[in-house]
């Protein structure tokens, strides 16, 4: 029986019958399997070449194959009949016409993503808190261990509020340049343990171009408790990444420097376009930077009146525009604020 591969025939059976689209193709299949010189006939005629033991087994298999073929023939025949009947039926309308609905709008992709991300953290037990966009210099910088005049502030160029009355330096008002000042506010007003996420607008005086905007959105998150560890930070962020970017996502923590966390890290995810193989979006690196994080610096804990010997915490922050741009393949940040309906309709 070397010229018949029974396994192969059994495997291809269903595939063969799925190609049936007319009575003619069905009849051809019937002949091919059950015809006088069909596959079953050939298999049966080859049986005597085998030992008694083998014949028993093969015989049983051939029989069950035959039964399956007959079942398939029946099913397909019924299907063909049914479809013929449908063809004869007359319809009063054209299903190609557009369906009638109430026109629906859409959420802005930024706020949609904020909701999605907040929901993930809320499901883990975090609370959502918002803070003011006008902040004090203390909350935005000094309280977060960012010295007022230091090169590490250069990434945080800031809009200041023109004030009528001169304030002391630390009370000078500004538009927050990140969502981290809400850390200071929440920690000063509440006792640990705390698990909070903070979405919101932030402002930096950057000239507008395809990848810069003077206003954008961030989500900040932090957790303070007795024995929060870096390993917890990794676990929480990994859960977040899987929920937002998919189960297959890989994550990597790179050491970095932020004045308000120590140890600090930047977090990359495997490129969601090329899955880490390297493409133009990830500059052939296979990784995309999506957030910054770390263990809250003991100085920051001291600044809000927590004892760093008693409490530990982690914090993280991410830019929403960047995440939305990566997720939907948007290449120009200005699109978010131009609000062209042809753009908004797509989300």
Partner 1 sequence: MKFTLNWLKDFVEIKLSPQRLAEAFTLAGLEVTSLKKEDNDWVFEIEVTSNRPDLLSVLGIAREVSAITGQKLIGDSVERLAYSKIFVSNKKFKINIESKEDCPLYTAKIIKEVKVAPSPDWLKERLELIGCRTVNNIVDITNYVMFTLGQPLHAFDLNRLEGDLISVRRAKDNESITTIDGRVFVLNKDVLVIADSQRPIAIAGIMGGKDTEVDTHTKDILLESAKFNPLLIRRMRQLLGLVSESQYRFERDVDINNVIFASDYAVNLIEKLAGGKTLLFKKTADIPKKRKIIIFNPDNITNILGVTIQKNKIRKILTGLGFKIKSFNEKLKVEVPSFRKDVKEEIDLIEEIARLWGYDRIPKTLPYIKPLDTDEINRRILSKIKNILVGQGFFEVVNYSLISKTILKNLKMDPEKALPIANPLSNQQEILRPSLLPGLLFCISKNIQHKEGVCIFEIGKVFEGLKETNFLGLALCGKKIFLRDCGKTEDNFTILHLKGVVELILKSIGIKDFDFVLEELAYLEEGFKVMFAGERLGYLGKAEPEVVKRFDINKKDVFVGELNLEAMLKFMDLNKKYKPLAPYPGIRRDISLVLKEDISLKEILKRINNRGFKLLKEIKVIDFYKGSPIPSGFKGVTLSCLYYSDTHTLTDEEADSEHSLLCNSLKEEFSVQFR
Question: 25-44: which residues touch partner 1 (CB under 8 A)?
Answer: none
Are 315 and 180 in contact, with CB atoms under 8 Å apart?
yes
Distance in Å, CB of 137 to partner 1, minimum? 12
User: Could you say which residues in the range 181-240 bind partner 1, by CB under 8 A?
Assistant: 190, 193-196, 201, 203, 205-207, 214-215, 223, 225, 227-232, 234-236, 238-239
**CB-based contact 135:175 (threshold 8 Å):** yes
Is residue 149 part of the contact set for partner 1 (CB under 8 A)?
A: yes
Which of the stretches 1-9, 14-22, 57-65, 118-126 binds partner 1 when contact is defined by CB under 8 A?
118-126
Distance CA 34, CA 39 (A): 7
Smallest gap from Cβ 272 to partner 1, in A, equals 20
Name every residue whose Cβ is closer than 8 Å to that of residue 166 and which is 6 or more positions away in sequence. Answer: none
Q: Coil, strand, or helix at residue 28?
A: helix
- Is residue 141 a contact residue for partner 1 (CB under 8 A)? no
Q: How many residues interact with partner 1 (rule CB under 8 A)?
A: 87
Phi/psi at 81 (5° precision): -60, -45
**Residue 90 found at the interface with partner 1 (CB under 8 A):** no
Shortest distance, CB of residue 152 to partner 1, whole angstroms? Answer: 4
Question: Which of 144, 219, 265, 290 lies at the binding interface for partner 1 (CB under 8 A)?
Answer: 265
Burial class (CB in 10 A: 0-12, 13-18, 19+), 284: exposed
Part in contact with partner 1 (CB under 8 A); list of ranges 35-43, 137-145, 256-264, 269-277: 256-264
The residue among 81 and 150 lying less far from partner 1, judged by its C-beta, is 150
Of 74 and 229, which has the nearer Cβ to partner 1?
229
Q: Which is closer to partner 1, CB of 8 or CB of 345? A: 345
179 HSE (CA, 13 A, CB side) = 27
In the set 312, 322, 324, 326, which binds partner 1 (CB under 8 A)? Answer: 312
Strands 194-203 and 127-128: parallel
Applying CB under 8 A, does 107 fall inside the site for partner 1?
A: yes
Smallest gap from Cβ 170 to partner 1, in A, equals: 16
175 or 244: whose CB is closer to partner 1? Answer: 175
**H or E stretch at 289:** strand 287-296
The set of residues, in sequence order, having a beta carbon less than 8 Å from that of 202 and lying 6+ positions away, is 133, 175, 176, 177, 178, 179, 215, 216, 217, 218
309, 187 Cβ separation under 8 angstroms: no
């Amino acid at each position: 029986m070397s010229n018949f591969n029974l396994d192969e025939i059994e495997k291809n059976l269903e595939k063969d019958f799925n190609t049936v689209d007319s009575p003619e193709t069905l009849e051809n299949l019937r002949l091919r399997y059950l015809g006088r010189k069909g596959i079953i006939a050939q298999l049966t005629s080859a049986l005597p070449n085998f030992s008694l033991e083998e014949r028993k087994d093969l015989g049983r298999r051939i029989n069950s194959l035959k039964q399956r073929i007959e079942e398939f023939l029946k099913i397909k025949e019924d299907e063909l009949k049914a479809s013929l009947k449908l063809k004869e039926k007359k319809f009063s309308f054209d299903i190609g016409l557009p369906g009638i609905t109430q026109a629906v709008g859409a959420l802005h992709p930024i706020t949609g993503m904020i909701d999605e991300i907040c929901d993930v953290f809320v499901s883990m037990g975090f609370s959502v808190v918002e803070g003011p966009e006008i902040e004090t210099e203390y909350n935005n910088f000094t309280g977060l261990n960012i010295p007022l005049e230091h090169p590490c502030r250069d990434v945080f160029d800031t809009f200041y509020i023109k004030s009528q009355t001169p304030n002391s330096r630390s009370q000078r008002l500004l538009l927050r340049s990140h969502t981290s000042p809400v850390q200071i506010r929440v920690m000063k007003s509440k006792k640990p343990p705390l698990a909070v996420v903070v979405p919101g607008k932030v402002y930096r005086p950057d000239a507008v171009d395809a990848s810069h905007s003077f206003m954008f959105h961030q989500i900040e998150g932090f957790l303070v408790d007795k024995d929060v560890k870096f390993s917890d930070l990794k676990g929480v962020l990994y859960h977040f990444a899987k929920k937002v970017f998919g189960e297959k996502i890989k994550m990597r923590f790179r050491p970095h420097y932020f004045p308000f966390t120590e140890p600090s890290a930047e977090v990359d995810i495997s490129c969601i376009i090329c899955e880490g193989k390297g493409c133009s979006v990830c500059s052939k690196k296979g990784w995309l930077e999506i957030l910054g994080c770390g263990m809250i610096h003991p100085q920051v804990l001291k600044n809000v009146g927590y004892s760093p010997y008693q409490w530990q915490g982690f914090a993280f922050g991410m830019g929403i525009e960047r995440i939305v741009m990566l997720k939907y393949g948007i290449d120009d940040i200005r699109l978010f604020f131009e609000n062209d309906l042809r753009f908004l309709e797509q989300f």
